[in-house]
Chain A
Amino acid sequence: MVMGTELLFMFSPFLVVVFGLLAEKLSISKLREGVAIILSGFSLFSVYQLYAQWQASPSKVLVVTLGGTPPLGACFEIDMLGIYMAFSATLLGLFAVIYSVNYMAHDTRLTEYYTLLSALVVSIVGVSFAGDFFTLFVFWELMGITSYVLVAFRKESWGPIEAGFKYMVMGAVGSTLLLMGIAIVYGMAGTVNFAQISTALRGQPMSLWLYLVFAVLVVGFGIKSAIVPMHTWLPDAHPEAPSPISAMLSGILIETALYGFIRVLYLIYEPGAFSLPITVLAVATMVLANVLALLQQDLKRMLAYSSIAQVGYMLVGLSAGTAFGIQGVLLHVFNHSLMKGLAFLSAGSLIHNANSREIDNMKGLAKTMPITSLTMFVAMMGLGGVPGTNGFISKFILFSSAFGVGLWWLGLLGVLNSALSMAYYLRFLKTLISRPKEAVSGLKEAPSLMLGVTVSMATLVILFGIWPEPLISYASEAARALFNNNYIKVIMP
């Protein structure tokens, strides 16, 4: 396989540090922000180049190694599923970096902030591309370390420190239990390469040790992915982080953890083997998150519980066990990253001007900040699944896949939960358009770069709701890449 410069964007954090230090010493303003934006655009372009290479020969899988041959050496395996997840990550990363230019303008230690943000994007792309269990673990740790520090970034106040510490403890426990799972799989199969593990372990009769591996995988991946008994870090971490970091965390990090879970599950076990435990987890996640979101007074905390509920909807699609269900999950991953990212960024604009996170203090903001309120309205309509936005399309595919397998009660429960979630979205929108208090009457609209990002994301949400054809075809090809055996045949013919 011939590879050009497609993977060089993985070294972009080094460049951001160099230019950041130059900007601090020579006092050139906006140099590091410009470099960060250029490098994010370059990574989006590199993912597009990889997609073009895939399109030239659709039945092949790109394998990237350094030195030794794949069954023993580490490798990247880039198929359509990886490209799809990497595209979501780099797109949201570009929007977050452009938004941060104005939002974080009054903070200190900005060099470290942009470096860690670009390292976070690189690590998410690395998790999507990993072809080896230990390579996935290395990028998983990088993803964890950068996000722990970015949540606790505004260390002058006590909230981010507490949230960051709680997140770090739970995330580190999850990563180390994942390492135990890798060790047990290595003991059984003698290798850590995904294709070889699949050849060795798929189709074997279920023994007690394979059930133990499933339990360890659920806990290890589920802590980062906020599945219900292990979700308690999320409602503290998302409000206290700076808004672009909340958008990245909620928009793509928990979905990448879910992608890791799906990938490893479909490689070790038969499709649909563990439908019952995943159904139980899906029901618990959806119901608990929606009920708790109704009781919140803090805007970002309400959006954080909404993220947990959306992960519950994705688990409904996973428990169906068919390619149609996985297509719904992948479509919802991309759509949720756009919608939830838009919601958190608009919330950041509102909070930036209102100086408070309580819903009651934002009464009447629609009069002075009309465009941001409109984008927030579009985001919440999409999150609730109103027809005309892309959220409706992906939720439709998710719940109809549950109906198609015979789990009609699960699909019905999902639809009811969607309707329930509209209650707290509409409550916030009613607060926005009610009679304003005196304190908010003198405020202006958000700065122009923040406004441009939110408006373009809202346009994408509505555009993909009216014209979903290309997205559905990409998602269906990515889902098919999970089920056919090209991934395995490349390494073990």
Chain B
Amino acid sequence: MSGNGVGPVKIVSITFSVLLFLSLLYVVSSTPFPHAKYRSRELLPIEPADALGGEMSNFLWNFRGFDLIMQTLILFATAISCLALLREEKH
């Protein structure tokens, strides 16, 4: 590991992570997690079929099609950003 010895930043970050971890463990062990206790709808039964991959992509497109179209916009924006950051132009 680079750097000689344990500097102050490292001590603070290790202490912070350990304290955060212990407090989160306290949260987990004291109250049980209310799994779907507050649910307000029942599950829709889906017919099991052979082509489970087809079922999954049908579900994805029918119910989350909107998010998928916006994700194409994100992928497009990522490509344009990498172009903007890595293009070298001689002016």
Contact = CB atoms under 8 A, between A and B. Distances in A.
A326 interface: no
A341 to B, nearest CB: 23
Nearest to A131: B66
A67 B36 contact: no
Interface of A, secondary structure class, is helix
Interface string B72-85: 01101110110111
A217 B61 CA distance: 29
Contact of A145 (B31, B35, B78): B78
Contact of B84 (A74, A149, A200): A149
Interface in B47-77: 61-67, 69-71, 73-74, 76-77
Interface stretch (B2-10, B11-19, B37-45): B37-45
Interface residues of B, number: 36
A109 B67 contact: no
A152 interface: yes
Interface stretch (A26-34, A136-144, A220-228): A136-144
B39 A74 contact: no
Contacts of B74: 138, 141-142, 145
A68 to B, nearest CB: 4
A201 interface: yes
Interface in A157-212: 187-191, 196, 199-201, 204, 207-209, 212
Interface string A371-391: 000000000000000000000
Contacts of B38: 188-190, 200-201, 204
Contacts of B63: 67-68, 72-74
A215 to B, nearest CB: 10
By size class, the interface of chain A is 35 or more
B39 A190 contact: yes
A65 B37 CA distance: 28
Contacts of A13: 73, 76-77, 80
Interface stretch (A111-119, A233-241, A300-308): A111-119
A346 B33 CA distance: 53
A74 B60 CA distance: 11
Given A68-B62, A74-B65, A190-B41, A108 B81 contact: no
A108 B86 CA distance: 12
Nearest to A191: B41
Interface of A: 10-11, 13-14, 17, 65-68, 71-76, 108-109, 112-113, 115-116, 119, 122, 126, 134-135, 138-139, 141-142, 145-146, 148-149, 152-153, 155, 187-191, 196, 199-201, 204, 207-209, 212, 492
